[in-house]
Each structure stands twice: as C-alpha cells, then as structure tokens.
Amino acid sequence: MSAPPFWISARFGIRRGVHITDIEVREIRLPLKEPFRISSGAVTERRILLVRIVDADGCTAWAECVAGEQPNYSADTVDTSWLALSQWFGPRLLGTQVDRATEVDALLAKGVHGHRMARATLEMAMWGLQAKRSGIPLSQLLGGTRADLEVGISIGIQDSPAALVERARAALASGYRRIKMKIEPGSDVEHVAAVRSALGPAAPLMVDANNAYSLDDTATLQRLDDFDLMMIEQPLDHEDIVRHAALQRVLRTPLCLDESITSLDRAHDMITLRAGRIVNIKPGRVGGLSAAIAIHDLCESHAIPVWCGGMLESGIGRAYNVALASLPNFSIAGDISPSARYWERDIVSPEWTMTDGMMSVPSAPGIGVSVDADRIDDLTVRTRMLHR
C-alpha cells in the first residue's frame, strides 16, 4: 500500500516520518540599501545561501544560511557552508528518514565539528517543513506565545558622533523599541555620550563591540557605565567566556554574549561563571532552532533574559527568527528589523513590516510568508541540486 498524501497524514496525525528526496542549494546576491559596518568588517551586498527541501509527498520548505562572505563573525562563510551543505549535510539528510525536526540536529552534528550555520540551514528547513505539513504556524510548533514582537535596530559604525546621533534619532522616531550601536576602539565613548545626551535618559540604548576589545580596555569599557545602557554585547574575544566574567565583575552594565555562545554548553558556562547576564540567540550560530530553544529554556530557568539577534537576513531567515522570538523568555526587543530597513525589495511576500515598533508573528501555516521564486531565480548566481 502506498503512503497517504501528506495532507491526510497531517490532518489525521499519522506518523510515518519524513523522507527528503531533493535539496536545492542556491546562492543569491542581494544588495543592502546601505553598507553595514561592524568592528570586524563591512558588507554592502549580501551573498546569501538558500536551501529548498522537498519531501516524498512533494511538500517543500525554504530556509536561509546566515553565514557571511568573510570569516569575521564566525569561521563559517558562504563558501564553506556551500561545501558543507552539498558535500556532507545534504547527502546525510537525503539518506535518512526523520520523524521530527527535533532529530535533525543530532543527525547532522554526529561526528562533526563546527559548520553550525550550514547545519542550522537544513535543521530550520525541516522545522519549516514540519510546520507546513502539520498545518500550523512555525511559531506555534516552536512553543511561541506572543502574537506581536518588539523590534530593535542595529546601527553600523558611523564616521562621527553626529552621524550616529542622526541615525539613532531617526530610529527612535520611527518607533524602534531598542537601539543598538556598533562600537570599536576610537568610536565608542564619545559616540555613545553624544547619542545619550541627544536622545535623553529614557532612550533604550545598547552597544555591540563584536570582539573589538581586550581586558586592557577595561577602563574604556567602564566609562560606558555612565550611559545607562541596557547591555554591552560581546566586547571580548569570540571564544572567550572567562575574561568576560572578569569584566562583568567590574561593570555595572550587563554584558550580553553573542559570538561566544555557540551551543547549550557555552550558555551553561556563561551562567555558571557569571560571564554575562543576557544572551543574544541566533539559530544559525548554534546549529539551529533545537539548540536555540534549549538555550532559551536554560536561560529562562536561571532568570537570564534572551533576545533574538540578526544576521542581515532576507525575509526567509527573518521568518525563522520571528517564530523563535515569539517564545516567552525573548523578553527584550530583537534585531528583527522590517524588510525595508535592509532591502529595496525582499524575496518574500508580504514583506516584513513594523507598526509602532512592533512586528506581527504570522498566523499562516509554515513560515507564514510566501517565497518569491521568480525573484530568487533572478538573483541566483549558482544552484546545486541534490537527489536521493
């Protein structure tokens, strides 16, 4: 007897596993409206890997790889992830029947070091597929409880304090609930002081250093305590936990770790050593949504708030971030800016929008937005098809 079609198994809850038959890996180019500069590098056009998975019933899901072009945020890049997806993780997923998306992380991680952004891409696609097959929104499948999310913005390093003030003022006026300013040595205390004095004591401000400092800079970082920031994100090395703990002991401002939290174990280390009081969660950085949820739950049990970070995603990656950020302990506005902040035109419809500083969590099944396949075709620079 042949298997029932997926809509029947979804409706009647027949569990018989998902078998992926095809994986398409694509690279697209999507120019940013304006260059984005952080302490470790700048980007003007995003090279973005997308995957599309197809199961034996013909059900499909898209997901996005958040790796950048250069290995400055993570060792993972567009090109290493392309290799990892097409050589290792794609074939492994094609060769295995899985019952639930929660099994994919272990499947892809077995015997593997690193390449979390590539693993996360397929892991997220499987969550998107499971939500679609089950006829429920991804947020519901993940355990989300919020219908509307507070939106934050991440402002790249600006040439002068005045330019940063202008950007931050515009962001506040357009409704953003949290304003993150990128800093580096030489563009820090003076820039932040100018913004605080221009925007007033109530403005929800924070900074992100992307590893640009060392403990030798402790005195500079202590001066940031004067500005009542919500947090200082990842001041020290991308692999460091212990020095962040030493720094946190002499700072009033909470530290938030981003790059250093690559797994549930690292989050546990941070909490145990008191190396930070807040965690930025990005599913791509930790190998997918299962690990992201596990970190969310661990932090919740220790009263550590979390928020959803961003990697300049297109509308596809944003869908996964938004669904994740609807979980209860995401109590701080995420870096989930609307499509128009990044792109002239996004690759999903409807585009992601913000009203009064809030973004709605989609209620449609699956990732909740439709993917513009024609536009993706127009933007594609290479495609790899993998079959069972």
Pairing of strands 205-208, 178-182: parallel
C-alpha span between 368 and 136 (Å, rounded): 9
Residue from 20, 149, 292, 311 in contact with ligand OSB (CB under 6 A): 311
Site string for ligand OSB, 93-132 (x = CB under 6 A): ----------------------------------------
Instruction: Give the interface segment with ligand OSB, choosing from 14-22, 97-105, 138-146, 305-313 (CB under 6 A).
Output: 305-313
Active site residue 182: yes
**Rule CB under 6 A: is residue 73 a binding residue for ligand OSB?**
yes
C-alpha span between 21 and 53 (Å, rounded): 8
Active site residue 132: no
Given the structure tokens 């250069």, which residue do they identify? 70
SS3 content of the chain, % helix, strand, coil (to 5): 40, 25, 35
Q: What is the dihedral of CA 156, 158, 164, 168, to 10 degrees?
A: -20
Catalytic annotation, pick one of 33, 110, 132, 182: 182
Q: How far is the CB of 334 from ligand OSB (least distance, A)?
A: 9
Pairing of strands 348-349, 358-360: unpaired
Given the structure tokens 């993570």, which residue do they identify? 74
Largest CA distance in the chain: 72
Q: How far is the CB of 210 from ligand OSB (least distance, A)?
A: 5
SS3 45: strand
Which is nearer to ligand OSB, 23 or 209 (by Cβ)? 209
| 51 close to 63: Cβ distance less than 8 angstroms | yes
Instruction: Work out what residue 154 binds among ligand OSB, Mg ion, none; the CB cut-off runs from 5 to 8 Å by kind.
Output: ligand OSB
- Angle between the N-to-C axes of helices 189-199 and 161-173, in degrees from 0 to 180, rounded to the nearest 10: 40
C-alpha span between 255 and 191 (Å, rounded): 19
Burial class (CB in 10 A: 0-12, 13-18, 19+), 17: middle
Residue from 188, 240, 335, 346 in contact with ligand OSB (CB under 6 A): 335
**Rule CB under 6 A: is residue 258 a binding residue for ligand OSB?**
yes
Which is nearer to Mg ion, 128 or 334 (by Cβ)? 334
Instruction: Work out what residue 290 binds among Mg ion, ligand OSB, none; the CB cut-off runs from 5 to 8 Å by kind.
Output: none
Site string for ligand OSB, 207-246 (x = CB under 6 A): -x-x------------------------------------
Contacts with Mg ion by CB under 5 A lie at: 208, 233, 258
**Rule CB under 6 A: is residue 309 a binding residue for ligand OSB?**
yes
**Rule CB under 6 A: is residue 76 a binding residue for ligand OSB?**
no
Tell me the residue nearest to ligand OSB as measured from the CB: 310
User: Could you list the active site residues?
Assistant: 182, 282
